[in-house]
Amino acid sequence: MKTYRLVATSLLAAAMAALVFSGPASAQEFPIQGGTGGGFFKIFCPPNNFMVGLRGRAGVVIDNFELRCAGFQTTPSIPPRKNWNRDPNTFASPMGTAGTSPGGSPLFLECPVPNFVRGIEFNTDKFLGRHLIAFVTMTCDHGTFSGFQELRFGFNFPPGFPSTQKQFCPDGSWAIGVRGRRGERVDALGLICARMPPF
């Protein structure tokens, strides 16, 4: 009996670890684009929370960032797709940072309420012999209300801009995180999207 419980507990722990590493099963993951250095990473928001911004440091390239998340809220409203809102309180994803470099200058950018991040654009620049992410432009919107806002995380716009990599979530989906490659700084990125919870 003890052996059965030990095996069951081990299997449950392994399944939970796999879920934490891989993210939601319904998520859509874009290709990782950018430099080829560093090692793989994946950072995403907890269930029912979506990406609203980035906080970190940047100079010639992005030195590090953490994901900023906020909760999804439903509100009684008609017509459909106007019946959701965003928790004004934001927090850092518990999954850590991309990059560890203390260089550059501090940056803290979040979409205004009620918007979430819908897509990103980014480019690389050569720095210390490697192609690293130079900036990330986040597009914030609500999906129903007119208008959107672009927030640019980074100070450097290398040759080739505006020929950037563009990754946007499909209709009905918003960003929940990013994956990519990182070392001391951020080498490459790919957006992770998921559908809003049922209304």
What domains appear along the chain, each with residue ranges and CATH number? 24-195 (2.100.10.30)
pLDDT at 13: 36
What's the pLDDT band for 150 if we cut at 50, 70, 90?
very high
pLDDT at 109: 97
Encode pLDDT of 115-132 as tens digits: 999 999 999 999 999 999
How far apart CA 146 and CA 193 sit, in angstroms, is 21
pLDDT at 81: 54
The stretch 10-24 carries a mean pLDDT of: 39
pLDDT at 11: 36
CB 173 within 8 A of CB 192: no
pLDDT at 142: 83
Residue 17 has pLDDT above 50, yes or no: no
**Cα 102 to the center of its chain, rounded Å:** 20
Residue 112 has pLDDT above 90, yes or no: yes
pLDDT at 20: 38
Residue 190 has pLDDT above 60, yes or no: yes
Strand partners, 68: 53, 92
pLDDT at 158: 79
Residue 156 has pLDDT above 70, yes or no: yes
Residue 70 has pLDDT above 80, yes or no: yes
CB 27 within 8 A of CB 42: no
Residue 175 has pLDDT above 70, yes or no: yes
pLDDT at 84: 74
pLDDT at 8: 36
Coil, helix or strand at residue 32: coil
For residue 185, CA distances in Å to 17, 72, 93, 171, 179 come to 26, 31, 18, 32, 14
Residue 103 has pLDDT above 60, yes or no: yes
Encode pLDDT of 20-64 as tens digits: 334 555 679 999 999 999 999 999 999 989 999 999 999 999 999
